[in-house]
Amino acid sequence: MKRGILFVLLSAVAGGLTAFGVVSYMQKDIAEVVVMNEKNGAEFRTVSLSQNDYPDFTYAAETAVDAVVYVKVSATQTIQQSPGSIFDFFFGVPQQGAPQQREKTGSGSGVIISKDGYIVTNNHVIDGATKIEITLNSNQTYPATLVGTDPATDVALLKIEADNLPFIPFGDSDKLRLGEWVIAIGSPYDLRSTITAGIVSAKGRSMPNYTGEFKIESFIQTDAAVNPGNSGGALVDKAGNLVGINTAIVSQTGSYTGYSFAVPSNIVKKIVYDLMDFGSVKRAILGITMQQIDDKIAKELKLSSLNGVYIVEVSKSGAADKAGVKAGDVLIAIDSIKVPTMPSVQETVSRYSPGDKAVLTVIRDGKELKLDVVFKGTAQENGEKTGDGAVAFYGSAIKEASKETLERLGLKNGVEIVEVGPGKLQEAGATEGFIILYVNDQSVKTPQDVISVVKKSKRAVFVEGVTPSGRSGYFAFGL
C-alpha cells in the first residue's frame, strides 16, 4: 500500500516537471503568433520574447567606457587688432591692426584601440592643433603625438606613451543589422564618459558635400544621442566591440535631434593600420566616374532592379580600364560584396590597398560579366616606391628595364615606363613600355638617375629613348 502511494506521488511529481519543461520549452521557442481578425481578414503578429532577448548594455558599457578618452586640443590663432580697440583704450597707443596671438582650445573624444596607446579620433577634432592632451577615464593625463590623418574619412590616429591600457577590439561593421542596438560613448558638452543607446537606423549613408573635397562617406546612422564633444567617440555593439567612430549629426540647432552618424569600423581599421605602418593612407583607386541607377537608366538597359551603379566614364589606363570595364556598364558587386549604391562602392573600394586584386561583377548588354581587377593607388611623390619594384614619376611609374627587354631591343641599359597615369607623362604622349635612355642629354640607367636629372632641371624635361617596337622616340614636358 505504501509503495503504491509512493509510486503515485513520484508519478505526479515527474508529470509536473515534464509539463513544466514542455511549457517552458514551448514558450521559449514560440517567437510569434498570427491572429486572424474574422471581420476583415487582417493579420496581426504578436511576438513573445524571453528575458534574454531584451537589450542589456551593462557588459558593453562597463568594458568599453574605460577605453574612451577625452581629447583636449590647443591651437594658436593670430588675430588682427583693429584701431580703436580696447587695447588703445587702456594704453593710449593706436596699434593700426597689429596682430595678436591668442590660444584657442577645443575638445572631443577618442577611442583606445591598443594597449600600447594608439587612439582613434576624428580629423576635425585635432585639425590645426598645436598641442593635444589625452585624459583617460581614470583622470590620468598624457600628451599625445599625431601619427597621421585622413581627411577623406575624417579619421585621425594619435599615440600616447603608456602601457597596459584598456582598449576596445574592432568589430565587423558589415554584420550590423538594421534595428540592432548600439551604444555611443563620449564626452558631449564636457560630460565625460557619457553613454547613450539607440538602434542602427540605416547603413551606407552619405551627406551633401558643399566643399568639393574628396570624401569617402558610407556612414552608420543611429538614433543614439550624440552632441558636440562626442566626435571621435565609440559606437559599440552589445558584445562590446567597436563598430564605428561617431563623427557627425544632422541638426538645425547644433544639438542632437535624432540623427547621428559614425564611420564604420571596417573603414577605420584599414585607415589606422595604414597610418601605423606607412604614416599615410595607401588608398586604392578603381578609376571610374559613376552615377546612381534610376528608373530611366533601368528602363533603357532593361535592368531587373535599381541596385548597382552606372559607369559614366572610365579613366584611361586606370584599374577599371585595364580590367576591361567600359562606360555604360553597371557595377553590381566587388568580389562577393554587393554594391547597390555609390557610397557602398566607395566603402568597399576603400578597404583595398594598391596592388590588391578583386573580381568585379558588371552587367553589359543584359549579361553578367566577371572581370579581374588590380587596384591602383593615388598619385605619389616622385621617387616613392609603388610596391612592385617601380617608383612614382609624375603620376606614372618607371623602373629599371629587365634583361629580357634590353636584349630584345638590343640595348645595354635603360629605364622602362611600366605604367602611365594622369600627369605630365600622359599629357606629353608617353606610352607604357617606352625605354628612357636620355633625359636632357644625360644618359640614365636607373629610375633614380631620371629623378636626379629632373630635379636639376629648371624649365623643361626632354626625354629620348626607344618605343616598345624598337623605334627611336622622344617626348617633352614643362615643369
With contact defined as beta carbons under 8 Å apart, do 449 and 413 qualify?
Answer: no
CA-CA distance, 476 to 180, in Å (whole number)?
59
Note if 294 is an active site residue: no
Those residues whose C-beta lies under 8 Å from the C-beta of residue 402, and which sit 6 or more positions away, are 416
Note if 124 is an active site residue: yes
DSSP state of 61: H
372-406: b or e for each residue (b if 16 or more CB lie within 10 Å)? ebebbbbebeebeebeeebbbbbbbbbbbbeeebb
Mean pLDDT of 339-346: 90
Phi/psi for 113 (5° steps) reads -115, 0
Q: Looking at residue 21, what is its pLDDT?
A: 55
Residue 243 has pLDDT above 50, yes or no: yes
Task: Report how far apart, in Å, the C-alpha atoms of 309 and of each of 187, 292, 297 are.
Answer: 39, 5, 10
Taking the CB of residue 87, how many other CB atoms lie within 10 A of it?
A: 16
332-346: b or e for each residue (b if 16 or more CB lie within 10 Å)? bbbeeeebbbbbbbb
- From the list 124, 193, 315, 356, the catalytic residue is 124
pLDDT digits (tens, 9 = 90+) for 419-451: 887 778 888 888 889 999 999 999 999 999 999
Note if 66 is an active site residue: no
pLDDT digits (tens, 9 = 90+) for 166-178: 999 999 999 999 9
pLDDT digits (tens, 9 = 90+) for 170-220: 999 999 999 999 999 999 988 999 999 999 999 988 876 656 566 777 899
Those residues whose C-beta lies under 8 Å from the C-beta of residue 172, and which sit 6 or more positions away, are 241, 243, 265, 266
Weakest mean pLDDT among 322-326, 373-377, 422-426, 467-471:
422-426
Helix (H) or strand (E) holding 220: strand 219-222
Identify the bridge partners of residue 182 per DSSP, sorted by sequence position. Answer: 198, 237
Q: Looking at residue 30, what is its pLDDT?
A: 42
Please provide the average confidence, as pLDDT, over all residues in the chain.
84
Weakest mean pLDDT among 52-61, 185-194, 304-313, 333-342:
52-61
Identify the bridge partners of residue 385 per DSSP, sorted by sequence position. Answer: 391
- From the list 107, 109, 154, 218, the catalytic residue is 154
- From the list 109, 231, 317, 350, the catalytic residue is 231
DSSP state of 316: T
Q: Looking at residue 429, what is its pLDDT?
A: 87
